[in-house]
Structure 1
Amino acid sequence: MSAQMAVGRVSHWEQYADKALAGDCLTVEEGLSVLRADDAELLPLLHAAFRVRRHYFGKKVKLNMIMNAKSGNCPEDCGYCSQSIVSGAPIEKYTFLKKDVLVEGAREALSRKVGTYCIVASGRGPTERELEEVIAAVKEIKHEMKMKVCACLGILKEDQAKRLKEAGVDRYNHNLNTSADHFHNITTTHTYNHRVQTVKAAKAAGMSPCSGCIVGMGESDEQVIQIAYELRELDADSIPVNFLNPIPGTPLENMKDLNPRYCLKVLALFRFICPGKEIRVSGGREVNLRHLQPLSLYPANAVFVGDYLTTEGQEVFTDHQMIKDLGFEIEECAY
């Protein structure tokens, strides 16, 4: 590539940053150019995405931690999930954790400099007992600690959403996972609209809506762009971008199409399309980004630390050191 062409390419990505900062959305064609960019253009692309990230979040990084409140025995057939009824993955299975265990998990999160503690449970939606356990735990956590609490309990009814909000839940997560036209290839026991309506119910109750995706489930580049559009339209405040960790025993165990450079391009795409939102590097980070993990924080401004639902994450110290080495700053008590 000539020097003149290289300068033109840099300008190309910077124009996308200008559009994002002006509140304009990339076209499908522009989105495709991001996802299909030559690997030699990766650094200029990330530089442009970082301009947008820095405008809204500076060099601060928000940390999140998951507490798997109930593991396995889920009646849903989500093809990516080791806890699903169609999964043969050898995972630990247990019923809903007691309040005291959930509260102790929050204390551990605080010691890890986590700003958002996420109580997550498998299943279609919470039972009354499970809901009461979460409500009791959240009340104690909010009384004792300065920490944002996120709940992820499946499909919610309006009254359940209101009760969680009244208890002090700040944010509710329910990922759309993939685009509407690809959803049936991943899950059949509930619909894409069930997920949309749950996010809307959480928002209507006054909780901050959190919804994201899983990339690497056989979707096309166009469908990756479509889910970014749909999350922009849904106006999710926080967008966890997961990269499929193909767990043995799940229907998607042989889906291994991702590479670290493509994952970084996906994060840049989401920053351009949802410029002022919290973009969080989530599940599958270590497996798919590997040695390029630090570069993910140029487009993204948040990350999970510790373990995920049924898979291990890297050591918390390693994440803290990665952030420090970048010259970035952990945003503690990130409200």
Structure 2
Amino acid sequence: MMKIDYQTNWIDLARRVLDGRGVTREEALDILRSSDDELLDLLAAAFLIRRRYFGKKVKLNMIINAKSKMCPEDCAYCSQSAISKAPVSKYPLVSKEEIIAGAREAERRKAGTYCIVISGRRPSDREIERIAEAVEEIRATTTLKICCCLGLLTPAQADRLARAGVHRYNHNLNTSRDRYGDICTTHTYDDRVRTLEHVKEAGISPCSGVIFGMGESDEEAVDMAFALKEMDADSIPCNFLNPIPGTPLEGMETLNPRRCLKLLCMMRFVNPSKEIRIAGGRERNLRSLQVLGLYPANSIFVGDYLTTPGQAPTEDWAMIEDLGFEIEECAL
């Protein structure tokens, strides 16, 4: 089939998306393979979609690494995995009081969502209970929304988190189904999907995303976007690989800022009404073009990531203000 020349037609494609016609896989591939000369046209078209659903609001999220380097899995990208030689801090689940203190810091950073993350294959019931008790107190004393990322869950654990008031649960697909075995061998793609199903059944909003830059093809990147569409993930974190020394993927450098922007645009076209978040690796991979990522995306992390530093919250606030956008107020 002849490739469509979208140089003057990205806006037309965006309008068709807004009229309810989803993009095809071929059109998603065309976005990734578009010329750099078309990038501003593509960003303008993605912004039409983003503006329909989110206006000029930017949602801020803050992470607490509540349990570090205590993981038996072999995920190739992760500095906290059992096979990682990266020099990161190792500690068990922090106290309930420390989790609650993190929520206060999230408020100071103007975050609307506080993300409680722990390393490991799956949480114990005791860990679930400590986190649930902290969430109950945070919900009673703040307007923060709570997201948890705790690994594989049982239905009973998902139900306990729902009763505590967890709004959202993150469990990333990370890569495509076909490529999953190249990235992790200690659990499967279907294990991750099963946890997301438990979360949805418990009434918690599903959050699931990807890590771009791990050697995936254009076709595999598109597969990820459509898998998340089929899953109906409400929030989609788009991570860009930070190849941490000591991990199997150290030294892998396949991304540039223009490629990252095209990936964000593709994700917006495929999942037009969903929260698209620029997540880990933002500063390293988008570099001086970070601000342009907010034309397709409507959400970022503020502050540091799990084991790597982010830019200062004041820089994020200034970036949003300079673009003429505004931080989404923290409210239930």
Where 2:80 maps in the other structure, the secondary structure is: coil
Q: Structure 2: state its 5+ residue gaps.
A: none
What is the alpha-carbon distance in structure 2 between the residues aligned to residue 334 and residue 84 of structure 1? Answer: 35
5 Å matches for 1:110-149? 110-149=107-146
Q: In structure 2, which of residues 163, 166, 169 is the aligned counterpart of residue 172 of structure 1?
A: 169
Task: Name the residue aligned to 1:251.
Answer: 248
Q: Does 2:270 correspond to 1:307?
A: no
Q: Aligned residue pairs: how many? A: 328
Following the alignment from structure 2 to structure 1, what is the Cα–Cα distance between the partners of residues 158 and 16? 36
Within the alignment, does 1:234 sit opposite 2:247 as a pair?
Answer: no
- SS of the residue 1:78 aligns to: coil
Q: Secondary structure at the match of 1:11?
A: coil
Letter in 1 for 2:297: A
Q: Which runs of 5+ in 1 are unaligned?
A: 1-7
TM-score w.r.t. the length of structure 2 is 0.97
CA contact (8 A) 1:62 1:334 kept: no
CA contact (8 A) 2:225 2:271 kept: yes
Structure-2 residue corresponding to 1:163: 160
1:98 aligns with 2:87: no
CA distance in structure 1 between the partners assigned to 2:143 and 2:19 by the alignment: 34
Stretch of structure 1 that moved more, 281-290 or 29-38: 29-38
Indicate conservation of the 8 Å contact 1:116/1:334, yes or no: no
The CA distance in 2 between the partners of 1:214 and 1:296, in whole Å, is 16
Aligned to 1:277: 274
Further displaced range: 33-42 or 230-239 = 33-42
Does 2:179 match 1:211? no
On the 8 A contact 2:143/2:331 being kept in 1, the answer is: no
Could you say what secondary structure the match of 2:116 adopts? strand
Q: How far is 1:22 from its partner?
A: 2.4
Question: For the Cα contact (< 8 Å) 2:125–2:157, is it kept in 1?
Answer: no
Report the equivalent of 2:45: 48
Per-residue CA shift, 1:224-279, capped at 9, x if unaligned? 00000000000000000000000000000021100000000000000000000000
RMSD: 0.9
CA deviations over 1:78-120 (Å, ceiling 9, x no partner): 0000000110001111110100000000000001110000000
Give per-residue Cα distances to partners, 1:6-47, cap 9 Å, x unaligned: xx7443211221232123222222111111111111000000
The equivalent residue for 1:17 is 14
Cα deviation, 1:291-318, whole Å, max 9, x if unaligned, reads 0000000000000001000000000000
Give yes or no for contact 1:26–1:272 (8 Å, CA) kept in 2. yes
| In 2, Cα distance between equivalents of 1:137 and 1:20 | 41
Partner residue of 2:35 out of 30, 34, 38: 38
Partner of 2:185: helix, strand, or coil?
Answer: coil
**1:265 is matched with which residue?**
262
Aligned identity (percent) is 61
Does structure 1 conserve the Cα–Cα contact (< 8 Å) formed by 2:83 and 2:247? yes
Q: Distance in 1 between matches of 2:331 and 2:204?
A: 16
State the 1:183 CA deviation. Answer: 0.6
Moved over 4 A (4+): none
> Which residue of structure 2 aligns with residue 188 of structure 1?
185
Contact 2:291–2:320 (CA under 8 A) maintained in structure 1: yes
**8 Å CA contact 1:282, 1:303 repeated in 2:** yes
Matched, 1:222 2:219: yes
Instruction: Tell me the residue number matched to 1:86.
Output: 83
- Classify 1:84/1:183 alpha carbon distance in 2 versus 1 (closer, same or farther; 3 Å): same
Tell me the amino acid that sits aligned with residue 135 of structure 1: A
CA-CA distance at 1:151 after TM superposition: 0.4
Q: CA deviation at 1:334?
A: 5.2
Q: Taking structure 1 as the reference length, what is the TM-score of the superposition?
A: 0.96
**Partners of 1:334 and 1:328 in 2: how far apart?**
18
- Structure 1 distance, partners of 2:7, 2:18, is 17
Q: Which residue of 2 aligns with 1:29?
A: 26
- Whole-angstrom distance in 2 between the partners of 1:273 and 1:32: 11
Indicate which of 61, 66, 69 corresponds to 2:66: 69
Separation (CA, whole Å) in 2 of partners of 1:137 and 1:33: 46
